Amino acid sequence: MAKLKALGNTQFHFPDLLKESSRLHGHLCPGQVLGVRMSIVGLAEIGICDPKGDDRKRIIVFVEMDRCATDAVQSVTGCSLGHRTMKFMDYGKMAVTFVHLKTGKAVRVIAREDSRQKAKEYFPEIENKYEAQLEAYKIMSEEDLFDIMEVHVKINPQDMPGRPLRRIQCESCGEYVQDMREVYREGKVFCRPCTAAGYYEPVGHAIS
Ligand SMILES: [Zn+2]
Ligand SMILES: [Zn+2]
């Protein structure tokens, strides 16, 4: 794993970003602190200064967890599922990859497991471990908080922001599938849940 040294992050104002992410998320928590700091370091590493302005169309993030920090990443980067600029990889890991679409530069930022223990050592007088983490994560060095690796990410045209490349009707349920998520089997075309177990099971008849 190549370890990179984070650049100076002077273009990002941590307290303001934390305030905004806590507002959007609904509360201040260790995940907000971590997510904001992950985003600052990740964006800086790929050379993004103005994620919600000039660089708006130049970033995609891959989040590997659906936890508090995910909202912080959305808040700082401006990337979201709805804009197709945030991809959710259900790995259950506290890690986020930041991709610069124009240069192809990408870094994966992983929260270090030992940062939890270190946080306690920073504030031994705080009994509640979440409170200790919250305060410690604000001041711990990037090296103590994160591992950073340079990565290559291939993003397919059907996963890019913009209009859907196509819409196709499932031959089993009749529902439409866009963005090339259809499945071809024995000369027929299906949606994913019709070829394997989906997350839902229909109960009785359609309501309308
Ligand atoms: Zn939270
Ligand atoms: Zn179907």
The 10s digit of each residue's pLDDT in 160-201 is 999 988 999 999 999 999 999 999 999 999 999 999 878 888
175 and 127 in a common domain: no
Can you list the positions of beta strands (E) in 54-196?
A: 59-63, 86-88, 95-100, 106-111, 146-151, 167-169, 176-178, 183-185, 188-190
What domain range is 184 assigned to? 163-208
4 within some domain:
no
26 within some domain:
yes
Confidence at residue 179, expressed as pLDDT on a 0 to 100 scale: 94
191 and 148 in a common domain: no
1 within some domain:
no
105 and 192 in a common domain: no
What total of structural domains would you count in the chain? 2
The 10s digit of each residue's pLDDT in 46-61 is 999 999 988 889 999 9
β partners of residue 14: none
3 within some domain:
no
208 and 141 in a common domain: no
Confidence at residue 10, expressed as pLDDT on a 0 to 100 scale: 54
Ligand 2 centroid to Cα of residue 206, in Å, is 15
Share of the chain above pLDDT 70, in %: 95
The CATH number of residue 141's host domain is 3.30.1330.130
For the residues of 45-77, what is the DSSP string, one character each? HHT-S-TTTTTGGGEEEEES--SHHHHHHHHHH
Ligand 2 centroid to Cα of residue 92, in Å, is 28
**Nearest one of 28, 128, 120 to 72, comparing CA atoms:** 28
Confidence at residue 8, expressed as pLDDT on a 0 to 100 scale: 46
Ligand 2 centroid to Cα of residue 204, in Å, is 17
User: In this structure, what DSSP letter does residue 6 have?
Assistant: P
pTM of the model: 0.90
208 and 110 in a common domain: no
Ligand 1 centroid to Cα of residue 72, in Å, is 9
115 and 89 in a common domain: yes
